[in-house]
C-alpha cells in the first residue's frame, strides 16, 4: 500500500487529484486542508481510504499540535506528498498580500520540512503566473523562462517555488514543481471567472469584465490537470520542473461569448434580447491593478509537456453551475 499526503484536497484541483488517486487499489490518503476560501465541504471525500485533517499548515500552533516529530498524528510512513494548498485569488492577494505570504510561502516551508524528514517524493503545484505576462505575439513561456511575477499572489507562488528548489539543491529531496495554466471544470470557487460568467447569466446580472476583455488565457480541464500531476509524481526519472500547457488560448471576451452561445442553445430560458455585440450581457469594469495581459506555455519540450485533451469541453462545467445557481 502507498500512502499519500495531499494538501488542499478540499479545494478545486485538489479534489480532482484525490479522485484520481482513489482509482488505485492499494492507497491511503491523508488530506490536509484548512477549509479556507477556496475549499468546499462538497469536496470532502467520505471514503475509508481518506483521513481528513482540517488544519492550517501555516499556523504555528496547528503545526506544533499536529506536525511535531514530524506529523505525529500520521501513523503510516509517507510515500508521496502532493502540495496544492495555497491562497490563489489574485484580487484577494491585492487586498491582503500578507495572508498570501503566510499561506503560500510559510505553508510550503512547513511541508518541505515534513518531506525532508519523511524522505517522501513530492510534487509542488504552482502556476504559470510566476513567469509574468506576454505580449500578443510573444513566444510562449518555457521551463527556462525567468521568474517575473507581477501580483502578490504570483510573487508568493514564485517564492514557494524557489523554496522547493532550494530544498532540492541543499537537502537533496526528491521533488518536482508543476506550473499549469488556467483551470476550469465543476466545483470551482464562486469568485472564479467561469463560475462568475454562468452565475451572472442565470441570475440575470451583467457579467463583469475587466478592461476590454482582451486579456488572453490558456485553459485546461481540472481533471486533466490532476492526471498530469500524477504523471509527474510517478515519472521514473523526474525532472525538477514541468510546465503543464493548456490546449486552447483565448481572450476572456471570447470565452464569455463561447459560454453565452452554449447557454443560449442548451438553456434558452436564459437567452436575452440581442442588441449588437451582446452589450446586454456584459458590463466592462475598471481593470485590475497589474492585470497580466497574456499567459501561454510552450508544448515543444516532449519530456516536460504533459498531454491533455484537445479542445474546450465546457458542457459539463456549464451544466454544473447552471444547476448550482438556479437553485
Q: From the candidates 128, 218, 224, 249, give the one annotated as an active-site residue.
A: 128
Secondary structure (3-state) at 171: helix
> Could you confirm whether 4 is annotated as catalytic?
no
Whole-angstrom distance, CA of residue 272 vs CA of residue 259? 13
Go through 180-208 and write b for each residue having 16 or more CB atoms within 10 A of its CB, e for each that does not.
bbbbbbbbbeeebbbbbbbbbbbeeeebe
Cβ neighbours of residue 315 closer than 8 Å, sequence gap 6 or more = 262, 266
Q: Judging by beta carbons within 10 Å of its beta carbon (0-12, 13-18, 19+), is residue 265 exposed, middle or buried?
A: exposed
Whole-angstrom distance, CA of residue 200 vs CA of residue 207? 5
Percent helix, strand, coil in the chain, to 5, is 40, 20, 40
- The CA-to-CA distance between both ends of the chain, in Å, stands at 42
**DSSP letter string over 23-72?**
TSSSEEEEEE----TT--GGG----TTEEEE---TT-HHHHHHHSHHHHT
> Could you confirm whether 300 is annotated as catalytic?
no
> Could you confirm whether 270 is annotated as catalytic?
no
Spatial CA neighbour of 148 closest among 129, 131, 127:
131
CA separation (Å) from 268 to 118, 241, 257, 260? 55, 45, 15, 10
Q: From the candidates 153, 242, 281, 295, give the one annotated as an active-site residue.
A: 153
Q: From the candidates 87, 129, 223, 224, give the one annotated as an active-site residue.
A: 129
The CA radius of gyration of the chain, in Å to the nearest whole number, is: 20
CA atoms within 13 A on the CB side of 146: 2
The dihedrals phi and psi of 243, each to the nearest 5 degrees, come to -85, 140
Contact 72, 118 (CB under 8 A): no
Q: Catalytic residue positions? A: 128-129, 153
Amino acid at each position: 500500500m502507498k500512502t499519500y499526503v495531499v494538501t488542499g484536497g478540499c479545494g478545486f484541483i485538489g479534489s480532482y487529484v484525490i479522485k484520481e488517486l482513489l482509482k488505485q487499489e492499494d492507497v491511503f490518503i491523508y488530506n490536509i486542508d484548512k477549509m479556507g476560501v477556496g475549499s468546499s465541504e462538497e469536496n470532502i471525500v467520505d471514503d475509508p481510504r481518506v483521513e481528513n485533517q482540517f488544519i492550517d499548515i501555516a499556523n504555528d500552533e496547528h503545526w506544533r499540535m499536529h506536525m511535531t516529530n514530524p506529523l505525529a498524528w500520521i501513523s503510516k510512513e509517507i510515500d508521496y506528498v502532493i502540495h496544492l494548498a495555497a491562497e490563489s485569488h489574485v484580487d484577494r492577494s491585492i487586498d491582503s498580500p500578507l495572508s498570501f505570504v503566510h499561506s503560500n510561502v510559510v505553508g510550503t516551508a512547513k511541508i518541505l520540512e515534513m518531506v525532508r524528514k519523511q524522505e517522501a517524493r513530492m510534487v509542488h503545484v504552482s502556476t504559470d503566473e510566476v513567469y509574468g505576462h506576454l505580449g500578443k505575439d510573444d513566444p510562449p513561456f518555457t521551463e527556462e523562462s525567468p521568474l517575473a511575477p507581477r501580483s502578490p499572489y504570483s510573487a508568493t507562488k514564485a517564492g514557494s517555488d524557489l523554496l522547493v528548489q532550494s530544498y532540492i539543491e541543499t537537502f537533496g529531496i526528491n521533488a518536482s514543481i508543476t506550473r499549469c495554466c488556467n483551470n476550469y471544470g465543476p466545483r470551482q470557487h464562486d469568485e472564479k471567472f467561469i463560475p462568475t460568467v454562468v452565475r451572472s447569466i442565470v441570475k440575470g446580472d451583467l457579467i463583469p469584465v475587466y478592461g476590454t476583455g482582451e486579456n488572453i488565457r490558456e485553459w485546461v480541464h481540472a481533471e486533466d490537470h490532476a492526471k498530469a500531476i500524477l504523471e509527474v509524481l510517478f515519472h521514473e526519472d523526474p525532472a525538477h520542473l514541468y510546465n503543464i500547457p493548456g490546449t486552447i488560448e483565448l481572450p476572456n471576451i471570447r470565452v464569455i461569448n463561447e459560454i453565452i452561445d452554449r447557454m443560449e442553445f442548451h438553456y434558452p430560458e436564459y437567452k436575452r434580447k440581442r442588441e449588437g455585440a451582446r452589450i446586454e450581457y456584459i458590463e466592462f469594469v475598471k481593470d485590475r491593478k497589474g492585470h497580466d495581459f497574456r499567459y501561454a506555455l510552450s508544448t515543444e519540450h516532449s519530456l516536460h509537456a504533459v498531454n491533455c485533451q484537445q479542445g474546450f469541453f465546457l458542457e459539463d462545467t456549464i451544466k454544473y453551475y447552471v444547476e448550482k445557481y438556479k437553485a
